Amino acid sequence: MTTRADNECKGCTASVHVSESQLAVMEQSTVTSEQGMSEQAAQELYKERLAICRTCDGFKYGTTCKYCGCLIPLKAKVASATCPYPFEPKWLR
């Protein structure tokens, strides 16, 4: 039976670790898919979002938001995406 510490995502186990190469493949798939047609965030905004997430207590495994389960390096690139932090989104734009 898999157990998890209190500070880990409630729906995830250790198998959610995603490597840089896996992220690159997912990013490329997103760009070429229909969803990839959505407006992408400017590079400055993308970096700003990643910096905010890296200081958040909900940022897990170096890639994942515990509040929404999204892979942040991919979500932060979507211009219309929002921060799911409960009651106080941390992304300002």
What is the model's pLDDT at position 34? Answer: 60
What is the model's pLDDT at position 6? Answer: 53
What is the model's pLDDT at position 71? Answer: 92
What is the model's pLDDT at position 24? Answer: 86
Tens of pLDDT along 21-66?
A: 888 888 877 766 665 556 888 999 999 999 999 999 999 989 999 9
Residues 59/53, Cβ–Cβ less than 8 Å: yes
Mean pLDDT, the chain, whole residue set: 82
- Whether residue 1 has pLDDT greater than 50: no
Number of Cβ within 10 Å of residue 81's Cβ equals: 17
3-class SS letters over the chain:
CCCCCCCCCCCCCHHHCCCHHHHHHHHHHHHHCCHHHCCECCHHHHHHHHHHHHCCCCEECCCEECCCCCEHHHHCCECCCCCCCCCCCCCCC
